[in-house]
Amino acid sequence: MAAEMGQKTWLVTGAAGFIGSHLVERLLTLGQRVVGVDNFSTGSAKNVQVVRDSVSSDKAALLAFFELDIRDRDGIRALIQQHKPDVILHQAALGSVPRSIADPIASHQSNVDGFINVLDGARQSGVKRFVYASSSSVYGDIGDGSKVESKIGNCLSPYAATKRIDEVYAQVFGRVYGMETIGLRYFNVFGARQDPNGPYAAVIPRWLAAMSRREQIVVFGDGSTSRDFCYVSNVVQANILAASVSSASSVINGVVNIACGDTTSLTRLQELLRFHVARTRGWKPEEIPAPRYEPFRKGDIPHSLADISLAKEELGYFPSHSVEEGLAELVAMELAQQS
């Protein structure tokens, strides 16, 4: 991959976060120069150090990391002008549907104001390729069928609205300023370095942490809710492919689903996690308590499944990990660190 793309300078926002740190690690492994930016609101300095330690010293030296908030318009613009990245991978955001319902202003400031600061900084510095994280939440109330990029419904949360606004801005900047933007609609990404703590933690790290302590998990709803869970290695692959795809591709100034193209209910998810945790710990599955069920959360959609045909055809994207393969790898890594 590195030989094909040549060495470039990549700006990764949210570089100390879950997905961002995996992107930085992969780019350094490929011998790329990386400028990382994060304000540590949800990311951590530990993730940055883990990445540095995971690669050789000469490749770790290719990372220049800056603590900076994307809401700082002047700071972001100056950093982009100074480092002149060839590609921007924009991952920084304030995630979580429930968080956005509790505090819509904070989500807007980070996800919209911060987004356009980075986008306009790229425009002013002549950065052509801008790949950014969107979300399956933009599909809203479209229905339970397989989600296709061209058909979206009404947003059901402030978080979804911020991601939809980002898509509109990116497409406008592409048309007006000649930039090449690509939005990646992530579907329920999971993997190592995902924070299991706090009220807005994602379901898989939260459940994994509880099960590893033989504690009871909470399922919102009756367990029939389903998602297209996507392992983080698949997302890393998609970002690099999007950054490298031909300018003639139909996904330029568009959006593309990034997922596995398969659906898993919460009931099935907790069964898989229970199996892998028990096997790794040397326990019997029944030693992990059965889940407790609570009412559905406001803003959650019942089912989510991606059509990934466009990603396959235009990006050459094929998921390297199924949900079960990703869960097995994640559990092995996380529990090894705890022992």
**156, 158, 161, 162: CA torsion to nearest 10:** -150
pLDDT above 50 for 190:
yes
Contact 79, 35 (CB under 8 A): yes
Regarding beta strands 33-38 and 9-13, do their DSSP bridges make them parallel or antiparallel, or are they unpaired? Answer: parallel
Predicted model pTM: 0.94
Q: Give the percent of the chain with pLDDT over 70.
A: 97
* pLDDT given at position 335: 85
Contact 245, 182 (CB under 8 A): yes
Contact 157, 299 (CB under 8 A): yes
Mean pLDDT of 126-132: 97
pLDDT above 60 for 2:
no
Distance between CA atoms of residues 254 and 232, nearest Å: 22
* pLDDT given at position 19: 96
Structure tokens at 297: 């959360």
* pLDDT given at position 304: 87
Mean pLDDT of 51-57: 97
* pLDDT given at position 336: 81
Considering only residues 308 and 299, tell me which one the structure prediction assigns the higher pLDDT: 308
The residue length of the chain stands at 339
Mean pLDDT of 210-238: 95
Distance between CA atoms of residues 319 and 308, nearest Å: 10
pLDDT above 90 for 326:
yes
**Identified catalytic residue from 159, 186, 231, 317:** 159
Q: Among 255, 244, 301, 227, which residue's Cα sits nearest to residue 133? A: 255
Structure tokens at 198: 């706090």
Please, what is the average pLDDT of the chain? 94
Question: 4: pLDDT confidence band, cut at 50, 70 and 90?
Answer: low
Q: Where are the domains of the chain?
A: 7-187+232-261+305-320
SS3 call for 291: coil
293 among known catalytic residues: no
Question: Which fold is adopted by the domain 7-187+232-261+305-320?
Answer: Rossmann fold (3.40.50)
pLDDT above 90 for 159:
yes
